[in-house]
Homo-oligomer: A and B are copies of this chain.
Amino acid sequence: MKTLRVPEATVSRLSIYSRFLERLDKNGITTVSSGEIADGVGVSPAQVRKDLAYFGDFGTRGVGYNVKDLLKYTLKILGLDQEWPLAIVGAGNLGFALCTNRSLSIRGFRIAGVFDNNSTRVGKRIGNLEIKPLAQFPEIVKKENIRIGVIAVHTSLAQEVADIMVKSGMQAILNFSPATINVPDGIEIRNVDLSIKLELITFNLGLRTAQNL
């Protein structure tokens, strides 16, 4: 099988294209050019074509891309032609926000379990989901066939939670804490860091004032 390596940045942009296509489709637009996609999401047309070319010839020269088809392809490529159940550990404010976040559910993610060890939280409900004690994590993720775990606990507990996730057979972990998590090879770990982007901003604003721009 020819599995040419795709840059991660390309996959991330594919997510963005995909959502843009969703919007076009919702607005009844049937055809779109690389240039229009580029304008819509803020990249160059060449980039759009190059990115899509990794996965196949989806367009028609002189015409552009069929919105519905390309949307279907991008979703398929991203693995979003199926529902992905998630297990969130940490039912604090962030965990709560994630559970109720619409942009996740729209894209095919379903919160299938929320866990916490804080006794004031366990037993309470978020939507129609009951917060379970962490001890039930292994059992529930097995029953629900969950492969992706989400860490939404405080930094100091993050590694511990990750270990439990690994032991319970999670194949991928999305970590919202600023901690650096260690996992065995073969397990995918991704971090969403709330302050890294802010620090990128302060770095740049700092430069700006330094140079009086």
- A63 sits at the interface (CB 8 A): no
A45-53, A115-123, A137-145, A171-179 - interface stretch: A171-179
* Chain A interface residue count, Cβ-Cβ cutoff 8 angstroms: 64
Who on chain B is nearest to A179 by CB? B19
**B residues near A12, Cβ cutoff 8 Å:** 196, 199-200
- A157 sits at the interface (CB 8 A): no
Cross-chain contact A182 with B94 (CB below 8 angstroms)? no
Cross-chain contact B103 with A93 (CB below 8 angstroms)? no
| Main SS at interface, chain A | helix
Cross-chain contact B93 with A180 (CB below 8 angstroms)? no
Cross-chain contact A147 with B205 (CB below 8 angstroms)? yes
**B residues near A204, Cβ cutoff 8 Å:** 172, 188
Give the CA-CA distance A124 to B190 in the complex, in Å. Answer: 35
Cross-chain contact B103 with A155 (CB below 8 angstroms)? yes
Cross-chain contact B195 with A107 (CB below 8 angstroms)? yes
Cross-chain contact B109 with A205 (CB below 8 angstroms)? no
Contact indicator per residue, chain A 63-86, by CB within 8 Å of chain B (1) or not (0): 000000000000001111000101
Interface residues of A, Cβ cutoff 8 Å to B: 1, 3, 8, 11-12, 14-16, 19-20, 40-42, 77-80, 84, 86, 92-94, 96-98, 100-104, 107, 109, 147-148, 154-155, 171-172, 174, 177-178, 180, 182, 188, 190-208, 211
